[in-house]
Amino acid sequence: MRMKRALLLILFLSCLWCAAPASATEIYAQQTGKSCNVCHLDPAGGGELTAAGKEFAASRTAKSEAPAMGGVAKVVRFAAGYLHMLTAILWFGTILYVHLVLKPAYAAGGLPRGEVRVGVLSMAVMGVTGALLTHFRVTSLDMLLHTRFGVLLLIKISLYLFMVLSATYVVLFIGPKLKAKRREPVALPAGSELTVDELGSFDGKEGRPTWFAYDGKLYDASASRLWKQGVHMGRHNSGEDLSEALKLAPHGPEKVLAMPQVGTLSAGPRKAPLHERVFFFMAYMNLSIVFLIVLILSLWRWA
């Protein structure tokens, strides 16, 4: 419930951020991404102005200048920028690790709390620090709408808001459905073969057995102290086929083979339910958004 409230708060604050006017004090070249020779005859900058430079100088004279940035403001801007970059590294790094190494399938049985907390905290910090940096960087609505920097910033903000919306939808609507199958009462089948859906009921929660599949066979980890509440090392959930996940484990298959074998996993095809397919789609969509945001940062800095 706390996670849901936090996501809704982030969504609300993000909307306020987009609606709020911005102001800042930065030099023109940094604001627009244009080279010095746009306003100066000397390509290195300084000296006699071009027609565009004279027009800009006249407009700056006609407008009231923003006050010079004080020491406190500089410290706040630096701290916001540092936190913004650090959080982006941690958040994007987590997304890349989960999607490219663990694969989203490992969360198909329920969203891991650790990853959800990292995501919610990261979105909150990115939203607050991003709003501060926009305040210090953007001088006017005209700059935001009609300069290369401003347009790229708007695209970046839009991508961020889309990630917040998709995360909110997944946590509030998709997550509960992913966990729903684990709340179903356990009914042991007559035979020793389980489908993937049937295996989902053996998740070790609320007194249910702790079973998982490995290499087509089912193993019972209920007696293991390393599988408390059906979770191993805070990462691997019982009630799932862990054949791929265990390839990344620091131990070999002998640890699994030492557990009681209780049956086999049905090899029949399984069609994922709609909410699970939506979850996979949104997971890889967010991964694509991460690459787009990195592309925008590259365009800002080097293009």
- Domain positions in the chain are 8-25+68-180+283-302, 30-61, 196-265
**Residue spans of beta strands (DSSP E) within 150-256:** 193-194, 211-214, 217-220, 231-232, 236-237
Q: Which residues of 200-227 are buried (b: 16+ CB within 10 A; e: fewer)?
A: bbbbbbeebbbbbbbeeebbbbbeeeeb
Tokens 């993937």, residue located? 196
Residue 162: pLDDT band (50, 70, 90) is very high
**Distance (Å, whole) CA 261 – CA 211:** 9
How large is the average pLDDT for residues 31-42?
A: 68
Q: Helices 274-302 & 71-96, crossing angle to 10 degrees? A: 140
Residue 57: pLDDT band (50, 70, 90) is low
How large is the average pLDDT for residues 93-116?
A: 75
Residue 186: pLDDT band (50, 70, 90) is low
Residue 198's SS3 state is helix
Residue 18 near residue 157, CB atoms below 8 Å: yes
Close Cβ partners of 74 (under 8 Å, ≥ 6 residues apart):
none
**Distance (Å, whole) CA 24 – CA 36:** 20
Range 196-265 has CATH code 3.10.120.10: yes
